[in-house]
Chains A and B, each alone.
Chain A
């Protein structure tokens, strides 16, 4: 693999917290990898398990799901549901023997720009260490 390999990390970020957190990271001139491809969602609970699965099976090297801290949801309880859904995706990934480390749920609030940058950096490093998503080479999927 070439040194300049940049993974693709599909990131579903909640509009109220994580997306704003990413914005803050940007306006604070914090560096985070270009691997992160943000997708704004109105709430992290908008992300159906299949979105994560689809991103993974279509070749994203990692999938990041960002939401408000539990208790801080703009819609009051959205992120509690996110946690349950994410638990299902994680369980399905693990029991199918897919690489569950490639998917990650993080709580990042709107004021946590530095934390967003850190999560982005950490996760990108993990993914780079894991290498490319093996689905990219599969013909029968």
Chain B
């Protein structure tokens, strides 16, 4: 991202942002600027969407770059393509801002390689909760269509995580499509990176539009959202306070680990919580049960969730997939976002930003963390030193 005033191209389509993005995909492939496109396509049964890597014009014609639901985190699709290094072909990937941010976190974890990928983001109105969509695709399509047409972020019928999302607009992608508050049917095509600018030049989009109005619209929405997020998350934090609060929050948990398997950040092939090591011997369980008088199963629910907080909250991008995947309706995303908003500032880190900074746990300063210094000092008494 640069600080100079952004210049943007303008695209118009009778179908609004969906039309403009669709046209953009077709032009990019037609002109040979990219080899293929990664975007959501409606499945033939018409009750979900799938990520499809395509270069056949007929398939691209059927793509829905702005899908109402997010069945699979886009970063996971990107990971499947690039986890072993950069691919041969140049891919244009259209994703929601949270998917791109998750992709950036995975890049820092060496699971995604961006070298041959052009990332396209757009002003995201939010996504319909997956269960709602599956139950009534028709209604969801209609309400999402209205949301898109309104040119503002959605308020109703969106995932709870989307309602408190503050990173709904421009992120560290290559090209961004901005349309919030822009007159109907038109969208700004904003180059974010150099690669993005080159691609726009290659396909011959003139950058002559002024986007100051759009920028101020975005920042005013973001202010409102930030307020709502702070309120929602601090209320969530209050609800889970203390050992009892925590136990209550996860009482409904059935230990399916869905939240973990859909999480884009949890990439480890073997998770501690799925391993044999985490399972105790029956004898030990009997012993505990005897001491406490009773024992509930499945065990270690608090350990699983609190453990995941220590493992991935630094990279959490609040995409809300965990809530979507929870079969018992625990607001997992809310709880994890609450934790992420506390742990990330501890290291002055913002997940999903591509500024060449490594993950907080992969670097250190020789003198840092007054919080832990204090802990060390109180342990060491007056003799204590951190050097």
Which A residues contact B (CB, under 8 angstroms)? 48-50, 53-54, 57, 59, 69-71, 77, 80-81, 83-92, 95-98, 104-107, 115, 118-119, 122-123, 134-141
User: Shortest Cβ distance from B279 into chain A, in angstroms?
Assistant: 12
A128 to B310, CA, bound (A): 27
In the bound complex, do residue A53 and residue B307 qualify as a contact, i.e. CB atoms below 8 Å apart?
yes
User: Shortest Cβ distance from B125 into chain A, in angstroms?
Assistant: 31
In the bound complex, do residue B241 and residue A97 qualify as a contact, i.e. CB atoms below 8 Å apart?
yes
Contact of A105 among B241, B311, B347, B372 (CB under 8 A): B372
A84 to B387, CA, bound (A): 15
A123 to B378, CA, bound (A): 11
- B282-313 CB contacts (< 8 Å) to partner A: 288, 291-296, 299-303, 306-307, 309-311, 313
Q: Please name all residues of chain A whose beta carbon is closer than 8 Å to the beta carbon of B295 when the two chains form the complex.
A: 139
Q: Please name all residues of chain B whose beta carbon is closer than 8 Å to the beta carbon of A140 when the two chains form the complex.
A: 247, 251, 296, 301
| Chain B 260-287 per-residue mask, 1 if CB under 8 angstroms from chain A, else 0 | 0000000000001000000000000000
User: Shortest Cβ distance from A25 into chain B, in angstroms?
Assistant: 15
Q: Please name all residues of chain A whose beta carbon is closer than 8 Å to the beta carbon of B311 when the two chains form the complex.
A: 49-50
User: Shortest Cβ distance from A125 into chain B, in angstroms?
Assistant: 13
- B342-387 CB contacts (< 8 Å) to partner A: 342-343, 346-347, 360-361, 364-366, 368-369, 371-372, 375-376, 379-381, 383-387
In the bound complex, do residue A88 and residue B314 qualify as a contact, i.e. CB atoms below 8 Å apart?
yes
Q: Please name all residues of chain B whose beta carbon is closer than 8 Å to the beta carbon of A49 when the two chains form the complex.
A: 307, 310-311
In the bound complex, do residue A92 and residue B306 qualify as a contact, i.e. CB atoms below 8 Å apart?
yes
A49 to B364, CA, bound (A): 17
Q: A95-B342, A98-B243, A136-B291 are in contact. Are A105 and B300 (CB under 8 A)?
A: no
A140 to B247, CA, bound (A): 7
Q: Given contacts A59-B288, A97-B242, A140-B301, could you give 4 more A-B pairs where the C-beta distance is less than 8 Å?
A: A77-B364, A88-B310, A106-B380, A140-B251
In the bound complex, do residue B366 and residue A70 qualify as a contact, i.e. CB atoms below 8 Å apart?
yes
Q: A77-B364, A87-B369 are in contact. Are A96 and B240 (CB under 8 A)?
A: yes
| Chain B 149-172 per-residue mask, 1 if CB under 8 angstroms from chain A, else 0 | 000000000000000000000000
In the bound complex, do residue A88 and residue B376 qualify as a contact, i.e. CB atoms below 8 Å apart?
no
Instruction: Determine the residue in chain A with the shortest Cβ distance to B238.
Output: A97
In the bound complex, do residue A83 and residue B243 qualify as a contact, i.e. CB atoms below 8 Å apart?
no
Q: Please name all residues of chain A whose beta carbon is closer than 8 Å to the beta carbon of B237 when the two chains form the complex.
A: 95
Q: Please name all residues of chain A whose beta carbon is closer than 8 Å to the beta carbon of B366 when the two chains form the complex.
A: 70-71, 80
Q: A70-B386, A96-B246, A105-B379 are in contact. Are A91 and B371 (CB under 8 A)?
A: yes
Q: Please name all residues of chain B whose beta carbon is closer than 8 Å to the beta carbon of A90 when the two chains form the complex.
A: 371-372, 375
Top 5 closest A-B pairs, CB basis?
A: A49-B310, A97-B241, A80-B364, A97-B242, A106-B379
In the bound complex, do residue A95 and residue B242 qualify as a contact, i.e. CB atoms below 8 Å apart?
no
